[in-house]
Amino acid sequence: MSYQPVFALFWEKVKESIQNGTYAKLTLAKTIGDTELKNIYVRPVLNDDVFSLSVTARYKTEEVESFHTLDEAFIVLAPYMNNPFLTALLFTTENDITFKLNKKRVGSIIEQAPTFKNASDVIIEMKAKGL
């Protein structure tokens, strides 16, 4: 069974958290073996009141930042699941949602108590501006 449908479900939770104003941050982590790419961090940004996501890829020797719409970010991030990342962690003010791939590469979604009490500053600013 492919993990992609489960990752798509996970991404729906990412979208919901942004729309609900509960999004704190998103991290792709836990690589397979020793890889050049260590993690990817996704945080919201506002440029002239236009919402986008900053995707920061952290390598051993450098960081590369790019900006994407919500739908573009899914297209950019999806190929990194299973190569090299096994885990995507969504932190919201309501709960922490983890997408995991097991050894057989079957995806699952786990919800836990929230790590963050406050949403991302950009999400708070968007709420204040009514965006």
State residue 59's pLDDT score. Answer: 94
Q: In this predicted model, what pLDDT tens digit does every residue of 67-123 receive, in sequence order?
A: 999 999 999 999 999 989 999 999 999 999 999 999 899 999 999 999 988 888 878
Give the pair of three-digit tokens for residue 15.
């979208």
Please return the burial class of 76, using the count of CB atoms within 10 Å of its CB with bins 0-12, 13-18 and 19+: middle
Is there a contact between 66 and 76 (Cβ–Cβ < 8 Å)? Answer: yes
Q: In this predicted model, what pLDDT tens digit does every residue of 31-64 receive, in sequence order?
A: 878 889 999 999 999 888 788 999 999 999 999 9
Q: Which residues form the domain of 42?
A: 4-129
C-beta atoms surrounding 13 within 10 Å: 17
Structural domain count, the chain: 1
Confidence class for position 125, pLDDT limits 50, 70, 90: confident
Distance of CA 127 to the CA centre of its chain: 20
Asked whether residue 1 carries a pLDDT value surpassing 60, the answer given is no
